[in-house]
Structure 1
Amino acid sequence: MEQPYRISSYCHIKNSSVFLDGKDVNASPIQEFSTFIKSAAKQLETNYPKFYKMDNLSKLAFLAADVLLKNADLSSDNEHNIAIILSNKASSLDTDRTYQASIADPEKFFPSPSVFVYTLPNICMGEISIKHQLHSENCFFIFDRFNADPLWINAQSLLKRKKAEKVLCGWVEFDDKNYEAFLYLVEENGIIAHSPNEIKRLYKT
């Protein structure tokens, strides 16, 4: 009998709070994103010096993934066959604006390599993979809004074809002052049904 794949845990970051499996693990009165995300990373013991050099989208995705993957109790000494499938609406637009501002004025023309490196949305997956030693497939989709169906289809395909042992999926959006991360982990030993309807329900929780 084929082993059903299920969601083992999920994480939300929104409104200055971090939720793990629906429980608030880091509420903060801080409204401004930059200060909030740094404070949350410190409180949740995200020990990764490069975190503070990342762009906002990568910080958001990285923290949500770190909360989930630490909760999964992965060994930090071994490689992990975990795929990543993420999505958003704005792509890397927030960082693109920052980079454009650095080159817009001919008098102050200064293209920054440290900003330019984040002008692709999938860079956040690389940051996650480096920290947690993930060695598998990854893909970043751009949708008009959260869309559970492609996430479900691609995760199921990777797991059934044994291309990954687990899949980290979700939505990570940063545009100006608006931000939200919703990530979940799919594997054989999960506890929540892995279906488009259930993914949508968790997203709205």
Structure 2
Amino acid sequence: MLKTNYYISNYCSIKNSEIQLNGTCVFSEDSKDLTRFLKHYYTSKQLSYPKFFKMDRLSKLAFTGSEIILEQLAEGKESTALVFSNKSASLDTDIKHQKSIEDPTTMFASPSIFVYTLPNIGMGEVSIRHKLHTENAFFVSSQLQEDLLHEYAESLLETENCKQVLCAWVEVFENSYHGFFYLVSKNGTIAHTPPMIKELYTT
């Protein structure tokens, strides 16, 4: 039996105050503040998802990259599985949560911060936004595991429970961030291989 060939149809990078789609800059701003940068992109596109403003930075990054990739789909968006990963999990928000616990001026930890103390919450926001009822997974590792993303995405596609898989590296910690997103399916022109995933990630 011949192995099905899968391809990367679209990819997106968010880093250094710039958003690139398929290698072309689509938004940039001279700002080192991730929250402000993503907010300005959100308003420039006139998006409508009020909960965006309550999200932590990791979820905002996951939401923004996913929005850019999924808006390229003309149909079948609801058949998209999600496979995300990063290095710091939700540590960026965990630290804020710990500080709210230790704050002597408050009696309780902030619920609005606590709700984002899991790294996969951003995937939940994406699923709600795009009405996804497909499988999702979030992996934490010291660096991008292109082999894992490649194998996991193609295994989901082989089950035929989804038409495409949105893979992502969504890393946020203190002053550092990097969002990398790509869509895998039977359609596209870029071969879905671990070396190609790594190349697009480092570009």
Q: TM-score range by the shorter chain?
A: over 0.9
1:193 aligns with 2:191: yes
Give runs of aligned pairs for residues 46-85 of structure 1, distance below 5 A.
46-74=47-75, 80-85=78-83
Q: 1:142 is matched with which residue?
A: 140
8 A contact 1:102–1:109 mirrored in 2: no
Alpha-carbon distance in 1 for matches of 2:75, 2:52: 19
Which string of whole-angstrom CA distances, capped at 9 and with x for unpartnered residues, describes residues 49-91 of structure 1? 111110000000100000000122347xxx7121100000000
Write the letter of the residue equivalent to 1:153.
E
Write the letter of the residue equivalent to 2:15.
K
Give runs of aligned pairs for residues 98-117 of structure 1, distance below 5 A.
98-117=96-115
Which string of whole-angstrom CA distances, capped at 9 and with x for unpartnered residues, describes residues 73-111 of structure 1? 347xxx712110000000000111111111113443331
Q: TM-score, normalised by structure 1?
A: 0.94
Alpha-carbon distance in 2 for matches of 1:185, 1:61: 14
Q: 1:16 is matched with which residue?
A: 17
Q: TM-score, normalised by structure 2?
A: 0.95
Give runs of aligned pairs for residues 115-130 of structure 1, distance below 5 A.
115-130=113-128
Which string of whole-angstrom CA distances, capped at 9 and with x for unpartnered residues, describes residues 162-190 of structure 1? 12111000200000111110010001112
Alpha-carbon distance in 1 for matches of 2:156, 2:107: 45
Give runs of aligned pairs for residues 153-164 of structure 1, distance below 5 A.
153-164=151-162
Alpha-carbon distance in 2 for matches of 1:193, 1:83: 19
Structure 2 residue ranges without an equivalent (≥5): none
Alpha-carbon distance in 2 for matches of 1:166, 1:106: 48
Percent identity at matched positions? 47
Give runs of aligned pairs for residues 166-185 of structure 1, distance below 5 A.
166-185=164-183
Alpha-carbon distance in 1 for matches of 2:51, 2:106: 27
8 A contact 1:8–1:186 mirrored in 2: yes
After TM superposition, the runs of 4+ consecutive aligned structure 1 residues lying more than 3 A away are: none
Q: 2:37 is matched with which residue?
A: 36
RMSD: 1.4
Alpha-carbon distance in 1 for matches of 2:22, 2:61: 17
Q: 1:131 is matched with which residue?
A: 129
Q: Which piece of structure 1 moves more, 124-133 or 2-11?
A: 2-11
Residue 60 of structure 2: SS of its match in structure 1?
A: helix
**For this pair of structures, how many residues does the alignment match?**
202
Structure 1 residue ranges without an equivalent (≥5): none
Residue 31 of structure 1 deviates from its aligned partner by 1.9
